[in-house]
């Protein structure tokens, strides 16, 4: 009872209309809904081929470590039920754009994440986030989220073997008769069923169910479709956490990519991270009753600061950028209101670190359904009426009007260029340039924020750098 009284005083449980039992249950609920990231993040970040492949053991440890520490920090600093973990979408950008298409080493790719986190932290400390938020049109913010969603949905289809490359048509349907595709389809059907029945942790149960199917299929058929050790029971279930990649990051990407390209890559990831965080804080805050009568989040500075530091921590620990999770709404939905929810979630993440051998048996085909579903979820902004990300003072907005060339074309370009080029920077840059040009063509120069001029010009130079004959 004394401990409960202490927790009540620290987290103001009674004042928030909650109690210890409710907060613990809310923490367990949020963790179950978020725990899929423990399996998916290592699956994505370990995709690039050797010699610079990130080991599953290290990524799993770092994923749980960053999620645990930063979620606890969020709870203690804000006394709100927000949870943090390496973000879906940006981890795919790290693996498939930075390390894959651009050829950065793992340390250099994580250096990009650290850099974008430091910029966001600086923006928060200087109190100019509102200026940045108003500079970018709401429709382009939405397009960035949808584009990343399409990006990771496409990656899920490829990882699952449902879509394969084709020299004539770029892509085509894969061989649906193989064991790997069978595992993907079973996992996708199971996840869809669980989501349809509103089962908590549907993505996690889908991954675990598909993994069991893969283990059985490999044992029965003797197929070699999976790499050694994958879809096979591990020799040990618990092992010491692997901290070998903590602190392994480098800013050498500037030398490899060129200064301008490096800056634009950092800014692109920063914008995606920044806008996603604001939407999550407001969305979950509205559900939890954190917003004031003007629709603003009181003391948002604290939450934004912890979130921005989480991005730095994620890059520094080789876990990709960590951010506030919309899945935090799951704990809020069962009554969680205080930072104690976050503390419970963080402790559970830390306790999961020794179980990395279990993660190593999960095939990419078992996590592919989670990528597909999360990608679809990120596309939800197209059909939702949303308030302005900064406090909601702008009132509700309707869905994107694709019939309007000023809005529809830049949004379509942003969304489609990302997955088709496997590059978030290309998508954001193309969308920004098209948006600015159409405004100029229509003589609406006053509607273009000065920041949009600068960023669009920088992206134009980025796309034309080879024709200009300059190394930047």
Q: How far apart are CA 327 and CA 71, in angstroms?
A: 13
Instruction: Convert the pLDDT of each residue in 140-171 to its tens digit.
Output: 888 888 888 899 899 999 999 999 988 888 88
Instruction: Write down the domain spans for the chain.
Output: 2-468
Q: How far apart are CA 455 and CA 286, in angstroms?
A: 32
Rounded to 5°, angle at Cα 136 from 130 and 139: 120
Instruction: Convert the pLDDT of each residue in 246-273 to its tens digit.
Output: 999 999 999 999 998 999 999 899 888 8
Rounded to 5°, angle at Cα 115 from 311 and 378: 45
CB 216 within 8 A of CB 182: no
H runs (alpha helix) in 232-317: 253-257, 259-288, 300-316
Q: How far apart are CA 275 and CA 390, in angstroms?
A: 9
Binning the chain into helix, strand and coil, the percentages to the nearest 5 are: 65, 5, 30
**Which of 10-19, 51-60, 457-466 shows the highest mean pLDDT?**
10-19
Instruction: Convert the pLDDT of each residue in 42-72 to its tens digit.
Output: 999 987 665 577 999 999 999 999 999 999 9
Name the DSSP class of 258. -
CB 97 within 8 A of CB 257: no
The confidence band for 277, taking pLDDT boundaries of 50, 70 and 90, is: confident
Rounded to 5°, angle at Cα 138 from 136 and 142: 110
Q: How far apart are CA 170 and CA 435, in angstroms?
A: 28
pTM to 2 decimal places:
0.85
pLDDT for res 207: 94
Produce one character per residue of 347-362: b if its CB has 16 or more CB atoms within 10 Å, e if not: ebbbebbbbbbbbbbb
């Amino acid at each position: 009872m004394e401990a409960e009284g202490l927790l009540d005083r620290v987290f103001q449980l009674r004042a928030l209309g909650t109690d210890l039992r409710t907060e613990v249950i809310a923490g367990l609920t949020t963790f179950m809904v978020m725990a899929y990231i423990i399996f998916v993040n290592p699956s994505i970040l370990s995709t690039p081929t050797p010699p610079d492949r990130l080991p599953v053991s290290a990524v799993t440890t770092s994923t749980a470590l960053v999620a645990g520490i930063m979620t606890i920090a969020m709870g203690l600093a804000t006394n709100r039920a927000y949870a943090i973990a390496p973000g879906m979408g940006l981890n795919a950008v790290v693996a498939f754009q930075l390390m894959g298409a651009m050829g950065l080493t793992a340390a250099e790719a994580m250096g990009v994440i650290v850099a974008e986190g430091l910029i966001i932290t600086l923006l928060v400390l200087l109190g100019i986030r509102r200026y940045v938020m108003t500079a970018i049109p709401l429709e382009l913010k939405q397009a960035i989220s949808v584009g990343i969603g399409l990006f990771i949905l496409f990656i899920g289809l490829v990882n699952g073997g449902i879509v394969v490359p084709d020299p004539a048509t770029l892509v085509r349907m894969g061989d649906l008769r193989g064991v790997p595709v069978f595992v993907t389809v079973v996992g996708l059907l199971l996840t869809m069923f669980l989501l349809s029945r509103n089962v908590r942790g549907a993505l996690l149960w889908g991954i675990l169910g598909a993994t069991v199917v893969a283990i059985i299929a490999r044992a029965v058929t003797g197929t070699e479709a999976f790499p050694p050790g994958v879809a096979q029971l591990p020799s040990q279930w618990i092992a010491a956490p692997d901290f070998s990649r903590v602190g392994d990051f480098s800013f050498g990407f500037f030398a490899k990519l060129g200064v301008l390209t490096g800056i634009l890559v950092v800014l692109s990831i920063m914008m995606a991270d920044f806008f996603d965080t604001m939407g999550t804080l407001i969305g979950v805050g509205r559900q939890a009753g954190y917003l004031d009568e003007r629709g603003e989040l009181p003391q948002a500075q604290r939450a934004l600061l912890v979130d921005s530091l989480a991005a730095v921590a994620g890059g520094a620990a080789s876990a990709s950028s960590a951010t506030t999770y919309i899945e935090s709404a799951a704990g809020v939905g069962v009554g969680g209101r205080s930072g104690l929810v976050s503390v419970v979630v963080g402790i559970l993440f830390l306790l999961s670190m020794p179980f990395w051998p279990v993660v190593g048996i999960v095939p990419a085909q078992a996590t592919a359904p989670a990528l597909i579903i999360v990608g679809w979820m990120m596309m939800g902004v197209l059909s939702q009426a949303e308030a302005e990300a900064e406090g909601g003072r702008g009132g509700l907005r309707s869905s994107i009007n694709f019939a309007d060339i000023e809005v529809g074309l830049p949004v379509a370009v942003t969304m489609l260029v990302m997955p088709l080029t496997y590059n978030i920077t290309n998508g954001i840059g193309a969308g920004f340039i098209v948006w600015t040009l159409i405004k100029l063509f229509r003589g609406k120069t006053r509607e273009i924020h000065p920041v949009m001029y600068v960023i669009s010009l920088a992206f134009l130079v980025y796309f034309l750098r080879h024709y200009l004959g300059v190394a930047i």
